[in-house]
Chain A
């Protein structure tokens, strides 16, 4: 720092108060004034404190004593569980559990405890009696406390049951649930290119927590997994940031880690007929499956992206692989983002403008017998692998009425023919869960299953 060396700053100029100015530092340095102002304040309050206060004010408008803003609460009760068609939040923490409890009563007890904690947290309250600081001084607090002072942040908590919840590996019923396994809750087949890691796959139960604040989502999963100790054990969990689809027309289409808009053609909350057709399980099914009416099936796939390879790919090829422009998301057949792709449009040499092996063509309802899904995926980055490449991608979540006719055929098609999937993606985790319908106050999640 030659400048300081040549400047007669007293050695004891501990906090950089006004010493530089008084020491005759040339006044030509423009930013000095504001910097001094900041430093002065900092020296009064303490730099750490002001930093924290500033970010607090910006990102967390409801202070410690403030009531959660009513606008940031998504109702927990209803015909369907929240977290499906409710507008997608920005953050995800999803977790799958293996049930270690062996009795039906213990499982029901767990679901009841989860329900009441979820009700509280979704409303922006603390989990458990006494919460984080109001309980017995000699006992550990019942809420872990890291969400104190935060708003509900539109937290939604969505519960689901995996196939292994109903039957053991030998096909014997668990928890007296004989005849209750829905036929649609299949064992997902092996898809081409699957490189599933057992520790990221399967699970008896799943909890999807979404919020606008990551701390709120993590807080929810943390408290629920704590409640489960002794009855269920965490099997895998995943953090996600940056939603990669919209479930409402009020939301902009976000971008995935490939930099492309994702979920342009997604089903939206404003399309109730479409939701009935593609997302909600209809009433009037088999007697043992009635409990699923109004529910849905959650498909979870951890999709690792070969980010580095993608980044070496020319823009032209990136667009050809996706079938849309990177800028506006318009299909290559022309128009704007929401213009329907024209798969018939031909370009030079009669080659289709939207390539036969492009993602938009192969994922489109027109290629999939009209089948659609409600997508709710999130970007993820879990550090890097041992080769120094980002372990990043898309945590794909979709809700469907029947995975056998919706997800499975589409995934088979994409995994074998979609250039995007074939060359740039690798599926490392997987799960399929039956998501029961919503509940009324006083009920517990999945009550219909045990009725």
Chain B
């Protein structure tokens, strides 16, 4: 699959909508609390009322089955006693729809709130969590750890875009001046900075197609710009007509200008933990659908550079989140550590100097082995977001 360009459309706006759903819909570590309520608590949110099947529960994981029985879009919150701190929330419940909210709540007094119309304070009521004997694993440090994780990742993104910009300028200069050998030598390594932060870069929907669209993804009549156009020109297939010096000049300028825009936009980047988690997963999806099939770098065959960069980006996101994962789901952390290592060990086999073998030099069995390790890693990586945000 034309991996990267097609990713472009997971815009930030879409992520913003997705995130709350992802946050609440994943129930893998939701073991309904045996307790005062002994099972999920049903919540009916109408335009005027907020009815719960129980107003006490035992500490641990609580599940609220929230049904919107009203006419307006609604939300449901579990708030701390002060009515300010949000323990858990589920947003964007359309009329007639149901959503699950899973939270981990220690003993104490709480408030529940339905918010029909998503406005104001909502319809609030007291809610009590009694001691169940088992200590709920809500850690006040978690938030701090998550903050650190996102901060670190933002720094990483900024650093990568900086290097990308520097590298792109060097590449563009060589390419525009007709120094094809130098441009070819820079092509794969500069692109790694892009591939490492792809989900973030692609969240700017306009830049991604302009920088990274593959020829196979062009719409009829659509103008083609970006890296892969240069790739085709530098690693030309049979019967290809080379670009003119003026065309190269133009392509180079646009490449630099777009990268400059990306650089500027990432200066003010803010991220949330779910975006790190989802981003890591997306990077592996990229590998699974595009790189491992050798479709991304169809002329240069430098797919393994991209492959490595995608894995790097996923690993950095994971490692930033790892303290939280280790706290909440140590088994998952262990699995991910092992599988990242296994994939890297396999990738290392194909290292040549600073780079890699060309993809067409790999045997079908080697590709198969890589694909198997990507899938093996992708599966637990899909659990990452739920593990850190629940």
Contact = CB atoms under 8 A, between A and B. Distances in A.
B10 interface: yes
Contacts of B13: 351, 355-356
Interface stretch (B122-130, B155-163, B366-374): B366-374
Contacts of B96: 330, 334-336, 339
The interface size bin for chain B is 35 or more
A320 interface: yes
Nearest to A352: B17
B281 A422 contact: no
Contacts of B10: 357, 419, 423
Contacts of A189: 220
A355 B371 contact: no
A330 to B, nearest CB: 6
Contact of A316 (B7, B25, B293, B364): B25
A386 B364 CA distance: 8
A216 B115 CA distance: 56
Contacts of B93: 334
A332 B25 CA distance: 14
A346 B17 CA distance: 10
A286 to B, nearest CB: 25
Interface in B368-385: 368, 371-372, 375, 378-379, 381-382, 385
Interface stretch (A168-176, A224-232, A304-312, A373-381): A304-312
Interface stretch (A39-47, A85-93, A191-199, A364-372): A191-199
A314 B73 contact: no
Contacts of B22: 314-317
Given A309-B285, A387-B292, A388-B371, A347 B382 contact: no
Nearest to B364: A386
Interface string B41-68: 0000000000000000000000000001
Interface in B12-35: 13-14, 16-26
Contact of B21 (A194, A320, A388): A320
B75 interface: yes
Interface string A318-337: 01100001010011111110
Contact of A419 (B2, B14, B73, B364): B14
B73 A351 contact: no
B63 to A, nearest CB: 14
In this complex, which of A319, A346, A351 has the most chain B Cβ atoms within 10 angstroms of its Cβ? Answer: A351
B281 to A, nearest CB: 7
Contact of B281 (A312, A333, A336): A312
B220 A320 contact: no
Nearest to B28: A314
A404 to B, nearest CB: 13
Contacts of A332: 92, 94, 97
A387 B97 contact: no
Interface in A416-432: 416-419, 422-423, 426
A347 B17 contact: yes
In this complex, which of B75, B278, B289 has the most chain A Cβ atoms within 10 angstroms of its Cβ? Answer: B289
Interface in B56-91: 68, 73, 75, 91
Interface stretch (B211-219, B243-251, B336-344): B211-219
A149 to B, nearest CB: 44
In this complex, which of A312, A331, A349, A415 has the most chain B Cβ atoms within 10 angstroms of its Cβ? Answer: A312
Nearest to A306: B289
Nearest to A304: B1
A6 interface: no
B62 to A, nearest CB: 19
Interface in B103-122: 118
B94 A345 contact: yes
A313 B382 contact: yes
A325 B100 CA distance: 13
Given A314-B21, A327-B98, A389-B371, 17 more contacts: A192-B216, A195-B295, A312-B382, A317-B21, A320-B14, A320-B21, A330-B94, A334-B97, A345-B73, A352-B17, A355-B14, A355-B18, A386-B367, A389-B375, A415-B219, A417-B9, A426-B1
Interface of B: 1-2, 6-11, 13-14, 16-26, 68, 73, 75, 91-98, 118, 216-220, 278, 281, 285, 288-289, 292-293, 295, 364, 367-368, 371-372, 375, 378-379, 381-382, 385-386
9 closest Cβ contacts across the A-B interface?
A334-B94, A316-B21, A312-B382, A334-B95, A347-B92, A316-B22, A316-B25, A422-B6, A387-B371
